[in-house]
Amino acid sequence: MTNKERCIAVIGTGRIGRAWAIVFARAGFRVNLHDADRAMLDGARPSIEASAADLARFGLLDETPGELAERVTAHARLEDAVNGVQLVQENIAEVVEIKRAMFEALDRLAPPDAILASSTSGLPASTFTEALPGRHRCLVAHPVNPPSLVPLVELCGAPWTSSETLHNARKLYEAAGQKPVTVAREISGFLLNRLQGALLDEALSLFEQGYASAADLDTVMRDGLGLRWAFMGPFETIDLNAPGGVADYAARYGGTYRSIAQTRVPFDWPPATVAKLDAERRTLLPREQIEARSGWRDRRLMALLAHRRRDDADMKAESDASSSRANSSEPALRPDTGDRHD
């Protein structure tokens, strides 16, 4: 089945639901929207078209914003929104009772072979799907805000989610242009927020103990670790930071990390530290400028994505050229050292 023949229901049209609608419509799927709040539902399509126009400005859309929005339809009734869909992406309030009631309705109303996915940031699927006849087809598909700009999606089933559901969900998100990862079993925070939480705990702890200002700690990330982390993960990073790879790295630096770990102070987010951080952040960015700065962040993300898109195309062209050289008897113009200077 091609994307054009597929239909996705996006339930809840706040920040995350609207961004998911862009993801699926951009990939060619038809998208049905539903929200209990009529004003939110009515505002969704214009807002989706406006966000698509931003993507177009950065060369991240292969059609006009109007053409993308044409594939998005708002439905006042839940049963109409889920009619004939392959996947339901739920994005309503983060309250377990509300999710449970919604999944009961979705399991009753959606086609029996549709996948039912929740965008929940913190509720394991087992807390709101246990009693459902169709619980095998339910899972969490946790996006990063906004999924239209950050492609990671964390797939995490309940103990009763079928492997077929996880497999098919992974294929669908890949077809939508996202980067799914599978969390093997339920854990609070899934993967991304556990990694982010560990980093935040350490940054806040260093800040609390007065080792550095908040601005300098942000610089460590933005102009240090973050540059590499924009295109490779921490494991690949250390694998390349010692001539013999990760085992060599561990032999050289494992002791340093072990001794750092011994000095790490458990951090429990004391209000006084948060207030001190807030005071420094508000001198750097007054509260009334947060929204404008968020818009700036999204434009930076778009520019980065546009760069990555070009870079991926260049890498593919380079790899196609080197395999066609390998298949012919022509010698390469220059020796391929395997180095990539990006």
Binding stretches for ligand NAD (CB under 6 A): 11-17, 35-37, 40, 91-94, 98, 102, 119-121, 142-143, 145
Q: Least distance in Å: CB of 90 to ligand NAD?
A: 8
Residue carrying the six token digits 């999944």? 103
Q: Least distance in Å: CB of 77 to ligand NAD?
A: 11
Quick one: 97 or 330, whose CB is closer to ligand NAD?
97
Number of H helices, E strands in the chain: 14, 8
Q: Yes or no: say if 191 and 181 are a contact pair by the CB < 8 Å rule.
A: yes
Half-sphere exposure of 288 toward its Cβ, with a 13 Å CA cutoff? 0
Quick one: 104 or 208, whose CB is closer to ligand NAD?
104
Identify the DSSP state of 159. Answer: T
Q: Least distance in Å: CB of 193 to ligand NAD?
A: 9
Quick one: 254 or 295, whose CB is closer to ligand NAD?
295
Q: Least distance in Å: CB of 241 to ligand NAD?
A: 31
Q: Which residue is nearest to ligand NAD (CB)?
A: 14
Q: State the pairing for strand pair 30-34/179-183.
A: unpaired
Quick one: 95 or 321, whose CB is closer to ligand NAD?
95
Q: Least distance in Å: CB of 97 to ligand NAD?
A: 10
Q: Which of 31, 315, 226 is nearest to 147 (CA)?
A: 31
Quick one: 3 or 141, whose CB is closer to ligand NAD?
141
Q: Yes or no: say if 103 and 73 are a contact pair by the CB < 8 Å rule.
A: no
CA dihedral (303, 307, 312, 317) positive or negative: positive
Q: Yes or no: say if 85 and 111 are a contact pair by the CB < 8 Å rule.
A: yes
Query: Strand, coil or helix: what is 8?
Result: strand
In angstroms, the CA 121 to CA 129 distance is 16
Quick one: 28 or 183, whose CB is closer to ligand NAD?
183
Q: Least distance in Å: CB of 143 to ligand NAD?
A: 5
